[in-house]
Structure 1
Amino acid sequence: MRNKTNILDFLNKKNFFSKIFNQFELNNYLKNKNVFLYCGFDPTENSLHIGHLLPIICLKHFQNFGYTPIILIGGATSIVGDPSFKIYERKKQSLDLLRFNQICLEKQLLFFFNNQECLNNKVIILNNYSWFKNFSILSFLRKIGIYFSVNYMIHKESVKKRLIKEKTGMSFTEFSYSLLQAYDFLKLYEKYGVKLQIGGSDQWGNILSGIRLIKKLYKDDVFGATNSLLVKSNGEKFGKTETDTIWLDAKKTSPFKFYQFWVNISDEDIDNFLQWFTFIDEKKINILFHDNNFIKNIINKKIFLAEFLTKLVHGKDVLISVKRIIFFLFGNGSITNIKEEDCIQLLKDGIPSIICNSFLDLPHILVKTLLVNSLNKARNMIISGAIKINGIVQTQKDYNFSKSDLLFNKYTFISKGKKNYFLIYWKI
């Protein structure tokens, strides 16, 4: 366990925060022994995605320093939907679906925090539906609404951007979201003495609302911090998209695809990502990656990050399985180490593949897979030793496939060079 007085210095050296409210007083406050902090997660989906990793890792840092993290599942706020920097209003979901999502997120989040190293400060998981379900609209407006002027709310950056759009605008439901999150902070302040809320940079306005409410009601100073917004090198925001979301649930994004995502990030992103997504400091990073070969260093950094995050999100055993696939496809791994579930996973991940209902010779298979565009080129390539079947070089130009080439009576790997792989799924 680290020295608590150094946590803000530690995180600031990693450029972790984009904003901190009243940093000097927060640093003094964190010298106390029993400190609780919280972060909220709305269950709008049944899985978190990589855009949620930074607040999770932030909470994990605080836990490692000896503080107690509280995770607040937004069972109530998800019904409303956070409008922060959204172009359109979120689609409304059924209560049953939201309840299912809550169960999934709670299980997913517990995986990160409850371990043997943190027996005295295990994470606390709460659901804000428990205090909103019996709170009437009249009571809420009378108790909370009176502390927020319309002028204050419409000048919030996330609100202003929506109000200027004629076709979208903002519903009163969304407009009230900030008040609901402010009340969450108040409830946790009253019950657990929580004085620190953390979140993504898009939550800054909502966090300030909670700080404002507690100040008005209790004349006490509380704090907020937002992590750096996770963006690609081109400025595009990471997270959930229509077609390319990287989920933390292995059923939605396989561990192999998750691993490959981090290996293939931009070279310009890797140094920042090592700071943000790992628990090691800059000094140790420099010790680990001191090779004079710049390109080799970049590759090693990406592999380190991919392995670290795959283990963090999916566990040690899953990482071993992913490395087994990687070693076979891109290293010198033996086919004997491949398991049937690895083949199934690769098909799900979209590895180039074809289905064959009868045995063909190797040249026709190469043309069928589009690895080459003619039988003549296929034969020349085979003779040159560029083609492997299940990891073994095949130089017989008219080689015919047979049952001996089938893995688990279903699959055959074909490779051209070191980077072009194809999986044949035999339905015979």
Structure 2
Amino acid sequence: MASGHCLSHCLAQTCGPALRRWSLVFAARPGAGVKSFGAGNGARRSAGAFVQRRSVVSCSGGAWTEATSVGVAVQGVSRNVVDVLEERGLIESVTSEELRSACMKQRLKVYCGFDPTAESLHLGNLLGIIVLSWFQRCGHIPVALLGGATARVGDPSGKSKERPVLDDETIARNSDGIGQILAKILEVHSDADSKAVVLNNYDWWKEFSLLDFLRDVGKYARVGTMMAKESVKTRLNSEEGMSYTEFTYQLLQGYDFVHLFKEEGVSVQIGGSDQWGNITAGTDLVRRLLQQEGAYGLTFPLLLKSDGSKFGKSESGAIWLAPSALSPYNFYQHLFAVPDSDVIKFMKRLTFVDIKEIEALEASMGQPGYAPNSAQKRLAEEVTRFVHGEQGLAEALKATQALAPGAAAELDSQALEAIAQDVPSCSVPYSSVVGTSLIDVSVSTGLLQSKAAARRLIKQGGLYLNNKKVDDEAKAMTAEDIIDEKIFLLSAGKKNRLVVRVIS
């Protein structure tokens, strides 16, 4: 291949629509004139090397001053973020124990990567945003990196087979959607000194020639080290095997850290536990290629339920963060359905509620008088507010109330139309409703399979019309039962609901 060909041509043809570069603000490069502490040596520390639990360091209200002694924060750094993350179960591994002291000696830039494999992030991706936000709340600067280039290769970590290749238009569309989500969530919690930054690695990879990559990056990579990565070993031993394209992924992600370290002053990379190999590839490249220390890596546990399954997946698919992919109501309901065995763990990891308040809530769960699902309600409210804002939470709560059989709240047509996207719906002629028995309407609309089932449900107290229990088998529909003369709600038990639109 001619040296003038860009590496992007080897990954995919040059992108048609330009990938949008999301940037909330570019803060001054941290650490200018400040010594960097610690080395990301790319080697996993022993299990006992990072287990000491420390209490969270709180800001006392007085101004912090820059200092060099351990435990004294620079201006704007309020708490030791490593202590906070450790206390909440959000640390799996770190590349250097010195990260704990470094984060109190200088304002750090920390990044997490998100490959645009879909138009929306899902609940499993939320942990990365949560950890970025903790760094931000403790005074550091979060950088969210869109993988516009790496998405063309596909990360083999945790995958049993190679990802399908996405076309340029799809990657551009996905990048735009994910960029909006990241900007919206991280911008809300920004202040003047910790403004979030959203970048796209396609911006530097599109100009990188293959020969330059082999000379400037491949030269410093050791095949033995690359093959020792768990993600590589697992795939090499599988029936599917691993392509050379996937094998190079860790170098692409590793060089992202080099670029961000050199050009943006980013010194910390975070990711899920399955990203350990890619992250250590980055800290190793910084040391080898730039001949510099001070690059750190941190991984957090994957979001798993107590039975070992991933939290973030449901029978209908991923629990998406974009409201266009999953409404705030349905997002709220997934969190509300968390079992008691998991709710406290998820409160610690997915919310910013004070740890003492969470522990008090946990203690109350075993006490007489505890209202069932109180912890789940708090979890659902906090996470929905973080992802969808106050307006999204209000929509979720309104829909939840509107869809609760027996609820005292008065329904209106606007509320029912809003929740129609979240529950089954149908349209029926006015003439087939008014004057017709409710039992017949329940069957003709498909809510129930037979008249016998409808009668049985009424006897059991499980059939509701506009959230009001129906006790009379002879009940006939009237004009007053049709809200605003155009819509009504049928419910069979607490879960099966049907919005019925009435047409002339």
TM-score in same-fold range (> 0.5): yes
Q: Which moved more, 1:74-83 or 1:283-292?
A: 283-292
Q: Per-residue deviation at 1:276?
A: 0.2
Structure-2 change in CA distance of 1:424 and 1:208 (3 Å)? same
SS at match of 1:141: helix
Matches within 5 A, 1:294-309: 296=370, 299-309=373-383
Query: Equivalent residue for 1:181?
Result: 253
Counterpart AA for 1:201? S
Instruction: Find 2:320's aligned residue among 241, 244, 247.
Output: 247
Matched, 1:315 2:315: no
Deviation of the 1:215 alpha carbon: 1.3
Which of 402, 413, 416 is equivalent to 2:478? 402
What is aligned with 2:63?
Answer: none
In structure 2, what is the Cα distance between the partners aligned to 1:335 and 1:213?
Answer: 60
User: Residues 150 and 239 from structure 1, CA distance in 2 versus in 1: closer, same or farther, beyond 3 angstroms?
Assistant: farther
Q: 2:489 aligns with which of 406, 410, 413?
A: 413
The one of 381, 400, 403 aligned to 1:326: 400
Aligned to 1:209: 281
Mapped pair 1:9 → 2:77: no
Q: Is the 8 A contact 1:335 1:390 kept in 2?
A: no
The code of the aligned residue for 1:123 comes to A
Aligned-pair CA distance for 1:388: 3.4
The amino acid that maps onto 2:398 is R
Pairing of 1:338-353 with structure 2 (within 5 A): 338-340=412-414, 342-351=415-424, 353=425
Equivalent positions of 1:180-199 (< 5 A) are: 180-199=252-271
Out of 358, 365, 378, the residue aligned to residue 285 of structure 1 is 358
In structure 1, the residue matched to 2:6 is none
Runs of 5+ consecutive residues of structure 1 not aligned to the other structure: none
Kindly report the root-mean-square deviation, in angstroms, between the aligned alpha carbons of the 2 structures.
2.6
Matched length = 424
Write out per-residue CA displacement over residues 151-197 of structure 1, whole angstroms, 9 at most, x where no aligned residue: 1111111011111123x211111111100111110011112222110
Give yes or no for the alignment of 1:73 onto 2:146: yes
Structure 1 residue identity aligned to 2:86: N
1:244 positional shift:
1.4
In 2, distance between residues paired with 1:328 and 1:264?
18
2:310 pairs with 1:237: yes
Give the C-alpha shift of residue 48 in structure 1: 0.4
- CA contact under 8 A between 1:14 and 1:276: conserved in structure 2? yes
Partner of 2:99: 26
Is 1:425–2:501 an aligned residue pair?
A: yes
- CA distance in structure 2 between the partners assigned to 1:309 and 1:294 by the alignment: 27
CA distance in 2, matches of 1:5, 1:378: 59
Deviation, structure 1 residue 233: 2.1
- Specify the code of the residue in structure 2 equivalent to 1:65: C
Contact 2:405 2:493 in 1 (8 A): no
- The aligned counterpart of 2:213 is 140
Contact 1:379 1:398 in 2 (8 A): no
Output one character per residue of 1:207-242: Cα deviation in whole Å (capped at 9) or x when no partner: 000011111131414211111111122212244689
Is the counterpart of residue 51 in structure 1 residue 124 in structure 2?
yes
Provide the residue aligned with 1:115 in structure 2.
188
Which of residues 242, 249, 271 is equivalent to 2:344?
271
- Supply the distance in 2 between the matched residues of 1:192 and 1:235 (Cα, whole angstroms): 38
Given that residues 49 and 246 in structure 1 are in contact (C-alpha distance below 8 angstroms), is that contact kept between their aligned partners in structure 2?
Answer: yes
Percentage of identical aligned residues: 36
Distance in 1 (CA, whole Å) between partners of 2:456 and 2:312 is 45
Q: Give, in whole Å, the separation in 2 of the partners of 1:383 and 1:154.
A: 66
1:354-396 deviation line (CA, Å, top 9, x unaligned) = 5434223112234456776764674576578664321334444
Q: Does 1:86 align with 2:162?
A: no
Q: Which has the higher helix share?
A: 1
Instruction: Give the Cα–Cα distance (whole angstroms) in 1 for the partners of residues 228 and 362 of structure 2.
Output: 46
Amino acid at match of 1:350: V
Secondary structure of the residue aligned to 1:30 is: helix
SS in 1 for 2:99: helix
C-alpha distance in 2, partners of 1:120/1:319? 28
Structure-2 change in CA distance of 1:383 and 1:41 (3 Å): closer
Contact 1:384 1:395 survives alignment (8 Å): no
Per-residue CA deviations over 1:256-297 (Å, capped at 9, x if unaligned) read 111110111222111110110011232121334553547946
CA distance in 2, matches of 1:191, 1:392: 63
Shift of 1:28: 1.5
